[in-house]
Structure 1
């Protein structure tokens, strides 16, 4: 998994690419989230448009980030989720936990 980050309209966007499988990449993502919290950048969007696959560890990575951000009065919104990723989230009932948007722009605008 690769992580690109940028800020748009005051919202931190993480563009994730590859497979979300946990491991060292999950730890790197959590460190990025914690660093963002320290900078008080707690409105975050995860752009999943370039994610090919996600297992339960990948779901756990997103849940950890969500919990960290919400405990700091922030939130993690998911954008551009393929049907291949959406299905495991529905099975785990995480579609009721995460706010999901078809496009990154919609997710950014949801913070306003």
Structure 2
């Protein structure tokens, strides 16, 4: 775990997964939980770490969540399914999950599958965090 302070951020970073396909970092900004995912979301054990992390956030009552997709290179149908399940789980508990900063490839996948109509997809992490204050 690391702690950093810069421009209004007090951040505790937990590196949750160092698998070959996907890495997950967890931190917070202004009371909003942030999961920063990097690599490729294909499936397998890394996705279980993501599911477990999301379940922990719900148990901790961290019900405002942003998933930062800025470093995701590719997402498979399994990865999309996990995002949809996580969103449903959050909504059931009274929480809100938003996505931010997907690259053109990932945004294209969200658009083709029409998941951009289900998720709030914001252009930046700062925009996503600020959207919870409105």
What's the TM-score bracket when you normalise by the shorter of the two chains? over 0.9
* Moved segments of 4+, more than 4 Å: none
In the alignment, which residue of structure 2 is the partner of 1:11?
A: 32
Aligned-residue CA RMSD in angstroms? 0.7
Question: Among residues 93, 99, 116, which one is paired with 1:95 in the alignment?
Answer: 116
Determine helix, strand or coil for the equivalent of 1:69: helix
Q: Which protein has the bigger strand share?
A: 2
Could you state the TM-score of these two structures normalised by the residue count of structure 2?
Answer: 0.81
1:76 Cα deviation (Å)? 1.0
1:64 Cα deviation (Å)? 1.2
Report how many residues are paired.
112
Question: Among residues 41, 60, 76, which one is paired with 1:39 in the alignment?
Answer: 60
| Structure ranking higher on relative contact order (CA contacts 8 Å, 6+ apart) | 1
Q: Extract unaligned runs of 5+ from structure 2.
A: 1-21
CA distance in 2, matches of 1:89, 1:7: 25
1:35 Cα deviation (Å)? 0.6
Q: Extract unaligned runs of 5+ from structure 1.
A: none
Question: Among residues 76, 98, 106, which one is paired with 1:85 in the alignment?
Answer: 106
